[in-house]
A = this chain, B = another copy of it.
């Protein structure tokens, strides 16, 4: 082991002085329970299961295989109950999908809503295998009156005093589009318990909350779904108490793999001078491709080279060759999508802490 030449940015005194914000023990309990991607794992095109971000509202419900059935009812001509075998007998598709939690970045807002205090790490890309929701809905024959389809999971609990099962809805048109899946496999294996075994909904391009896990019930509705997570939970609100607008697609974002080696506690970086490939991933929502990624070095923005998309809903790789010279740096990255949407330098505040796609900052010392 070797102590660093002074001035050393990673000493214990600096560590103790690093308190930038005070978090509650309840937030820490959620942070210990839910898991973010390790930023260095952004190098995987497809995130290994245990490295994919994980956010579960309630407990993982353990449903015995032989008891589980998917109920499909409401305003349909043929209500039905489907086993996992029934679903697997249908045509299967695999989609590579980048998924981000709508609350990613919440912990960087001030003040912030008391919930999971994500900073940057609530993202991952997986290959989901399942059958098209559309085909199953066609089998059940939707009433003309149907405007929304609700998806209800087997997980149950309280949020803000209200008991409910986790549920979300999609508008009829989206539910009948080609890319929404009833998925039973992740990266070629049966869904792990924590990712929704035996079945989850996959809504490519949306934030994670739309991808209902442990799916147990689909209901065709002739009026807007009033489930808590739809009507109350996942809404953008400029101030508490307002009705707000629904959280839907992911906003454009890029993340970089912090270069060099870390300080354990602060995650600040030390790097040797010389050519360094700064690389990472960028994505947007709704299948909109990324057209530009820039790397910021102490506020000066340089264009990175961008790989073409692997597929419509998966993140894109990018890289930038940095000639790193001794000194102290703030690195950042910023993506722009084909709609011209880009990332703000400072977080846009939201009452529930949703949709924060401000640029990531990484502190680096080059020696």
Contacts and interface: CB of A to CB of B under 8 A. Distances in A.
A58 B160 contact: no
Nearest to A231: B1
A3 B232 CA distance: 13
A261 B12 contact: no
A194 B26 contact: no
Interface of A: 1-4, 8, 10-12, 15-16, 18-36, 38-41, 43, 48-52, 54, 56-60, 62, 107, 114-115, 117-119, 121-122, 156-165, 192-195, 226-228, 258, 261-267, 270
A58 B121 CA distance: 16
A51 to B, nearest CB: 6
Contact of A192 (B33, B34, B48, B159): B48
A53 B142 CA distance: 45
A16 B32 CA distance: 19
Contacts of A265: 26, 30, 114-115, 159
A147 to B, nearest CB: 20
A192 to B, nearest CB: 5
Instruction: Report which residue of A8, A49, A228, A265 has the largest number of chain B beta carbons within 10 angstroms of its beta carbon.
Output: A265
Contact of A50 (B15, B27, B49, B62): B49
Given A30-B267, A38-B59, A156-B261, 14 more contacts: A2-B164, A4-B158, A10-B161, A19-B26, A22-B22, A28-B31, A31-B32, A32-B119, A41-B193, A43-B62, A157-B261, A158-B261, A158-B270, A163-B270
Contacts of A59: 38, 40, 258, 261-262
Contacts of A38: 33, 56, 59-60, 194
Nearest to A52: B50
Given A36-B33, A193-B48, A28 B119 contact: yes
A6 B31 CA distance: 29
Contact of A161 (B3, B156, B164, B261): B3
